[in-house]
Copies of this chain bind each other. A is one copy, B any other.
Amino acid sequence: MIIVLKPKISKREEAAVLAEIRKLGYRPHVMRGVARTVIGAIGDERTHKSLEMLTTWPQVESVTPIQKRYKLTSREAHSANSTITLSNGTVIGGKKFVVMAGPCSVEGEKQLLTTAHAVKKAGATILRGGAFKPRTSPYEFQGLGEKGLKLLAKARKETGLAVITELLSEDHAKMVAEYADILQIGARNAQNFQLLIAAAKTGRPVLLKRGLSMKIEEWLLAGEYVLANDNANLMFCERGIRTFETYTRNTLDLATIPIIKKESHCPIVIDPSQGAGRADLVVALCKGAAAMGADALLVEVHPNPAEAWSDGAQQLTLDGFARLMEELQPFITAAGKE
């Protein structure tokens, strides 16, 4: 930690800061600058107490941590890329570019199976579909629940696709883990730490969406809750952050691709459907994501978006998805993936 004192502080006031630093287990190191005195507090910031409360002292101007707060998710902890292997053989984070596709919500057998067969044919290897839906309003469709999970399992059996679906409640963790290959933690639950722990403990791979206004450091720290609970199969998923712009539903922050690759060993997945909230932008965003080195995409696809029970405006048609997969090919190749 670096503690900066205010100008013109008395010796006595400085000594009090030094004493407190020692009391909290750090070794202080004083540097006298031109305008201010700076104190380095030497010690492991992750095992010692934070010194940030010193900012309440009148003689202290600022306190700045030096160490990164995340450990297990960091590149420093694990320099090679981590990969996640699913039971159908799909590997996320490896040489192959992975596509997860399917409807926003599971609405019924026909809707799901039609979509599953179509996305498989177009090249997807993972089927997405919401059985439990977090909805802004209690009066909106909340998902089919376990019935939806059963349909997903049926689609998996028929097509060989792996299944990803959202976990909404600690109480459902076991049930959802029975049916799904990957548990998705949604943006609104990205700092619901109890849910993260429950998901981690199922042993299933976890896809952690970035919260609507989550800093990258906070995202890595939320991921830390998964790894620290003995689950090594974590992937991050950028799905757009909330900004002042209203043309798109969210602002998809594609810079997270090189950033997560730099800071962490975990795979990075891009969700352009939530990211834009508009189907007409999805193709371009997918091309950008592939070019920038994303490991996978999570794309919403529906046989008839205009009649979807949720988020119709952002879902591709089956044909639109097939075209996307074709158009994407040269960018995947250019990025050195298969």
A69 to B279, CA, bound (A): 24
* In contact, B312 and A52 (Cβ under 8 angstroms): yes
* In contact, A44 and B35 (Cβ under 8 angstroms): yes
Taking the full assembly, how many copies of this chain does it contain?
Answer: 4
Any chain B CB within 8 A of the CB of A147?
no
Any chain B CB within 8 A of the CB of A10?
no
* In contact, B306 and A284 (Cβ under 8 angstroms): no
Residues in chain B near residue A105, CB distance under 8 A: none
Residues in chain B near residue A213, CB distance under 8 A: 212-213, 242, 244
Residue-wise, chain A 215-253 has the 8 Å CB interface mask toward B (1 for contact) of: 111100110110010000000000001111111100111
Binds B, one of A113-121, A122-130, A148-156, A164-172: A164-172
Any chain B CB within 8 A of the CB of A313?
yes
Any chain B CB within 8 A of the CB of A264?
no
| Chain B: CB-nearest residue to A132 | B194
Distance of A335 from chain B, by nearest CB (Å) = 7
* In contact, A258 and B245 (Cβ under 8 angstroms): no
* In contact, B40 and A34 (Cβ under 8 angstroms): no
| Chain B: CB-nearest residue to A245 | B215
Please judge, given known A-B contacts A29-B31, A64-B64, A284-B293, whether A138 and B38 are in contact too, CB under 8 Å. Answer: no
Within 8 A of B (CB), among A238-284: 241-248, 251-255, 257-259, 262, 275-276, 278-281, 283-284
Distance of A337 from chain B, by nearest CB (Å) = 12
| Chain B: CB-nearest residue to A312 | B53
A259 to B276, CA, bound (A): 10
A135 to B56, CA, bound (A): 20
Residues in chain B near residue A287, CB distance under 8 A: 291-293, 334-335
Binds B, one of A80-88, A95-103, A174-182, A184-192: A184-192
Residues in chain B near residue A33, CB distance under 8 A: 40, 42-43, 66
* In contact, A247 and B334 (Cβ under 8 angstroms): no
* In contact, A36 and B313 (Cβ under 8 angstroms): no
A39 to B215, CA, bound (A): 27
A4 to B53, CA, bound (A): 22
A-B contact pairs, 17 of them (CB 8 A): A4-B66, A50-B312, A53-B306, A53-B307, A53-B312, A55-B313, A69-B136, A136-B222, A188-B192, A189-B192, A241-B243, A241-B245, A245-B253, A258-B284, A288-B291, A288-B292, A290-B291
The 8 lowest CB-CB distance pairs between A and B, nearest first, are: A53-B312, A291-B291, A213-B213, A330-B334, A258-B284, A288-B288, A188-B191, A169-B194
Q: Which residues in A have some Cβ–Cβ distance to B below 8 Å?
A: 2, 4, 7, 20, 29, 31-36, 38, 40, 42-44, 46, 49-50, 52-57, 64, 66-67, 69-71, 76, 134-140, 168-171, 188-189, 191-195, 211-213, 215-218, 221-222, 224-225, 228, 241-248, 251-255, 257-259, 262, 275-276, 278-281, 283-285, 287-293, 305-309, 312-313, 315, 330-331, 333-335
